[in-house]
């Protein structure tokens, strides 16, 4: 029905267009003229990016990287020239010349990749993405005036994908840095870079969203600006000619641009770059926990008045969290007064602090809120999970569908707490995904000491109500809701 209504309207518009050339003879056609002017006015109102490009363009650079390899004297097996010689010339493959022991192989520099960057200081500091220079032996920076410099890598931070380069030059054009915290969805932005090695290519669009959680440490700016391979590391620029982000990622199923691109907020990039320039690396705070999301069902079961916070799934031995008395199953509600809604909130809040900084954390434990003071450590690589020891054979079954056993002495030392080991599952436990070998640390917020005590707690449960158990698997703890079987 809708198409039938539109069809006559389209025919009428065509008739008006024909009549517009006869405005003097048919007064009706003269009414079209204001519409034509209105359309021209709308086109004239579109943003003009020419001044922005003239202003920022000279500070945008092309970055190419190379890799040094040991060069041989003959053809490599995968060299395309091999097939060329065989099929078209009927010639045998050239053999490598015998190597003399006194003559070492020479290094050959081969192209590795291209990207973009921008100058942030007149004395030659350049910002780009860490992945642009990853694995490179040499990095070269080319300016719009065709000058090219070999760059020194001051430092890179893979977690935020920011890298700092330095070229030896003076009085260079530089960008103006904006405030990414003031970015608004819907505002016009442009990107300048070298997609597919096409230098100083300009694309435009709008900010689609801000603070997209695509990474642990940086909430990214989402845009619909066309960004392709080679654009990485280039600036995202607002209508005031200020850099508000570093183009870093695209969402794609094909490897090419599909309408969604992401940029690192310039505020975070500058903060990281200042640390890199000062010490060559970025220092982040460390709590020493692994965390998980808190579901509505679990929040209700443990007595939280609202769904807020994240669950501590694992406290690392010797970590700042363990020293402060935090436990598996604690729900982190606030960190230094900041409300924690999701895991990434805590990760970023802790990571933003310098090591040895004092902090306060609010947790929910056993039906009450507690305040814990601690000293932040320095971020380090997660420790490798340890394998569980062999289990005891003292088994006790219960109505939750769990057959459990006491911990061995080695398991007690490993867990540094009480608990029981799951030997077999059935019913509600099986439906909830609990597996043999899992540890049960608590039941309905009551700490489990051994299999006998666990069985006594289960015996007092209302079989018509759900129960929540704290389960540990592969050194990660998580609340699991056991619903009554129908």
Q: What is the pLDDT of residue 437?
A: 85
- How far are the Cα atoms of 67, 227, 232, 248, 440 from residue 193, in angstroms, in the given order? 22, 9, 8, 11, 54
What is the predicted pLDDT for the residue at 413?
72
For residue 305, report the phi and psi dihedrals to the nearest 5 degrees: -65, -25
**Would the annotation count 231 as a binding residue?**
yes
| Residues 6+ away with beta carbon under 8 Å from 240 | 176, 178
The response to whether 254 counts as a known ligand-binding position is no
3-class SS at 54?
helix
Domains of the chain: 2-39 (no CATH), 49-282 (2.40.10.120), 285-378 (2.30.42.10), 395-482 (2.30.42.10)
pLDDT at residue 396, rounded to an integer: 52
Indicate the helix (H) or strand (E) that contains 139: strand 138-142
- 141: nearest Cα among 198, 193, 65, 195: 65
Residue among 279, 332, 327, 278 at smallest CA distance from 309: 332
Alpha-helical runs (H) found in 85-227: 130-133
Residue 187: other Cβ atoms inside 10 A: 14
Report d(CA 408, CA 414) in Å as an integer. 10
Alpha helices (H) along 88-219: 130-133
Does residue 409 have a known ligand-binding role?
A: no
| Residue 161, annotated as binding a ligand | yes
Give the per-residue pLDDT at 357: 92
Reduced to 3 states (helix: H, G, I; strand: E, B; else coil), residue 411 is helix
**pLDDT at residue 219 in the model:** 86
- Show Cβ contacts of residue 321 under 8 Å, excluding neighbours closer than 6 positions: 287, 288, 289, 312, 315, 374
pLDDT of residue 333: 95
Which parts of the chain sit beneath pLDDT 50? Answer: 1-42, 73-79, 81-103, 381-394
* pLDDT in the model for residue 34: 46
Alpha-carbon span 408 to 474, nearest angstrom:
17
| pLDDT (0 to 100) of residue 44 | 58
Provide the pairing of β-strand 242-250 with 176-177: parallel
Q: What is the pTM assigned to this prediction?
A: 0.62
Give the residue numbers annotated as catalytic, written as ranges. Answer: 131, 161, 232
């Amino acid at each position: 029905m809708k198409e039938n209504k539109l069809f006559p309207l389209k025919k009428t518009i065509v008739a008006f267009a024909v009549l517009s050339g006869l405005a003097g003879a048919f007064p009706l056609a003269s009414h079209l003229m204001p519409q034509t002017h209105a359309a021209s006015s709308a086109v004239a109102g579109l943003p003009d990016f020419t001044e922005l490009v003239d202003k920022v363009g000279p500070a945008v650079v092309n970055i190419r990287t190379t890799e040094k390899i040991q060069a041989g004297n003959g053809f490599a097996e995968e060299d395309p020239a091999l097939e060329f010689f065989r099929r078209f010339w009927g010639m045998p493959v050239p053999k490598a010349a015998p190597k003399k022991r006194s003559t070492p192989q020479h290094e050959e520099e081969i192209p590795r990749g291209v990207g973009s960057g921008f100058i942030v200081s007149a004395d030659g500091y350049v910002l780009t993405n860490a992945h642009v220079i990853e694995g490179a032996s040499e990095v070269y920076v080319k300016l719009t005036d065709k000058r090219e410099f070999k760059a020194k890598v001051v430092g890179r931070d893979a977690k935020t994908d920011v890298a700092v380069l330095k070229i030896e030059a003076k009085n260079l054009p530089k960008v103006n840095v904006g405030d990414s915290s003031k970015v608004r969805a819907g505002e016009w932005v442009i990107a300048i870079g070298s997609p597919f090695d096409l230098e100083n290519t300009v694309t435009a669009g709008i900010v689609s969203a801000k603070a997209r959680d695509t990474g642990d440490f940086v909430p990214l700016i989402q845009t619909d600006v066309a960004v392709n391979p080679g654009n990485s590391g280039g600036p995202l620029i607002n209508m005031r000619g200020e850099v508000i982000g570093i183009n870093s990622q695209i969402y794609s199923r094909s490897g090419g641009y599909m309408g969604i691109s992401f940029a690192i907020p310039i505020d975070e990039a500058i903060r990281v770059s200042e640390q890199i320039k000062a010490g060559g690396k970025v220092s982040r705070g460390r709590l020493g926990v692994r965390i998980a999301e808190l579901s509505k069902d679990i929040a209700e079961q443990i007595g939280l008045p609202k769904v807020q916070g994240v669950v501590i799934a694992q406290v690392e031995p010797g970590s700042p969290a363990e020293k402060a008395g935090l436990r598996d199953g604690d729900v982190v509600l606030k960190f230094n007064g900041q409300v924690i809604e999701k895991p990434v909130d805590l990760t970023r809040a802790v990571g933003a602090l310098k090591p040895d900084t004092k902090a306060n954390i609010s947790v929910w434990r056993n039906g009450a809120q507690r305040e814990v003071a601690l000293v932040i450590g320095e971020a380090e690589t997660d420790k490798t999970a340890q394998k569980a020891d062999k289990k005891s054979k003292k088994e006790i079954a219960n109505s939750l569908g769990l057959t459990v056993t006491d911990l061995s002495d080695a398991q007690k030392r490993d867990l540094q707490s009480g608990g029981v080991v799951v030997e077999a599952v059935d019913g509600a436990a099986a439906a909830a995904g609990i597996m043999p070998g899992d540890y049960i640390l608590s039941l309905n917020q009551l700490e489990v000491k051994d299999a006998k005590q666990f069985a006594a707690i289960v015996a007092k449960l209302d079989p018509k109500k759900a129960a929540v158990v704290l389960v540990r698997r592969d050194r990660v703890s998580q609340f699991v809701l056991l619903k009554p079987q129908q």
